Amino acid sequence: MATRGAQVDFRLLGELEVRSAGRPLDAGTPRQQVVLAALVVDARRPIAIETLVDRVWGHRPPAHPRPVLYAHLSRIRALLRQATAPDGGAAARLERRHAGYVLDVDPERVDLHRFRRLVEQGGDRWCGDRRCEDEAGAATLAEALGLWRGEPLAGLPGEWAVQVRASWHRRRLDAVVRWARAEFRLGRSGAVISAVPDLTAEYPLAEPLEHVLIQALHAAGRSAEALDRYGTVRRRLAEELGAAPGRELQALYRAVLAGARPPLRAAHRGADPLRLPSGPGRDR
């Protein structure tokens, strides 16, 4: 029986979780979780049956996919009935409309949509001066990044889930770079040096991330480490992509080598690509 005043939260930035009033609910089998994720990703937008079948099974659907899909949808409805909104109504409803199935839920109850909103806000904070904007932007981006618990849709099968992971990894990487640049402009090189190395292990070909880390090391008086870092990045790019570092990274290397003080600014937007390695959860 639903508990009056409960809420429902959907978490996709990690293993898929459905929580009501803070307690986890059973989201079903991995295949049923893919159906649920396919609805949550496009919350409040109708999804055609054919699109759901494609997202769940890709190019290898069962002989009769619709009855199987309807069974999953029926179980998802039963799952959603376990939570109600604070006003006593449904916290989330699965509806069938002419254009397809719609999961009607407040996007703020979905970590993926909340992440997207916070990232957008992080680049749109105007308060009169650059430092104030950087402070507000860095705080908002840090809040967004804190929603990540691991690989998006971790453990869920299918090509669609792989594509979702790759797309959201790119969004996360962009947010990390923007956060690190804002922290560097604020003079907080230590925060960059503390957080970024772990992230470069996840995104070893992301030049803008390496750029701001090398800047921070140099600004902190650790120029020898900055030069070593550049050498590591150069070798990695040569081995993985057969490419040299981009112009911005090369210019920074020359500046560090010459002992010049790094400017309190980030690399020019769009100058070098956000390169991701091949493999599961990454674009090839």
Judged against a pLDDT cut of 80, whether residue 102 lies above it is answered with: yes
Helix/strand/coil for 160: helix
Q: Rounded mean pLDDT of 256-260?
A: 85
Q: Rounded mean pLDDT of 273-280?
A: 40
Tell me, what's the pLDDT at 277?
40
Domains of the chain and any CATH numbers: 8-109 (1.10.10.10), 111-257 (1.25.40.10)
Q: Rounded mean pLDDT of 177-201?
A: 94
Q: Rounded mean pLDDT of 35-61?
A: 95
User: CB burial class (10 A; 0-12, 13-18, 19+) of residue 180?
Assistant: buried
Sequence-separated (6 or more) residues with CB below 8 Å from residue 43: 103, 104, 105, 107, 110, 113
User: For residues 247 and 195, what is the distance between their CA atoms, to the nearest angstrom?
Assistant: 25
Weakest mean pLDDT among 39-48, 119-128, 211-220: 119-128
Largest CA distance in the chain: 70
Judged against a pLDDT cut of 70, whether residue 85 lies above it is answered with: no
Tell me, what's the pLDDT at 268?
37
Tell me, what's the pLDDT at 262?
56
Tell me, what's the pLDDT at 282?
37
Task: Tell me the pLDDT tens digit for each residue of 116-158.
Answer: 999 998 866 565 667 788 899 999 999 999 999 999 999 999 9
Task: Tell me the pLDDT tens digit for each residue of 162-171.
Answer: 999 999 999 9
Judged against a pLDDT cut of 90, whether residue 86 lies above it is answered with: no
Judged against a pLDDT cut of 70, whether residue 280 lies above it is answered with: no
- What's the mean pLDDT when you consider all of the chain? 87
User: For residues 34 and 20, what is the distance between their CA atoms, to the nearest angstrom?
Assistant: 19
- Of 63, 105, 40, which Cα lies nearest the Cα of 52? 40
Tell me, what's the pLDDT at 230?
97
Judged against a pLDDT cut of 70, whether residue 233 lies above it is answered with: yes
Judged against a pLDDT cut of 60, whether residue 97 lies above it is answered with: yes
Tell me, what's the pLDDT at 81?
87
Judged against a pLDDT cut of 70, whether residue 265 lies above it is answered with: no
Tell me, what's the pLDDT at 6?
56
Judged against a pLDDT cut of 90, whether residue 91 lies above it is answered with: no
| Token couple for 188 | 């907080």
DSSP codes, 16-49: -EEEETTEEE---SHHHHHHHHHHHHTTTS-B-H
Query: Around 76, how many Cα atoms within 13 Å sit in the side-chain half-sphere?
Result: 29
Tell me, what's the pLDDT at 87?
55
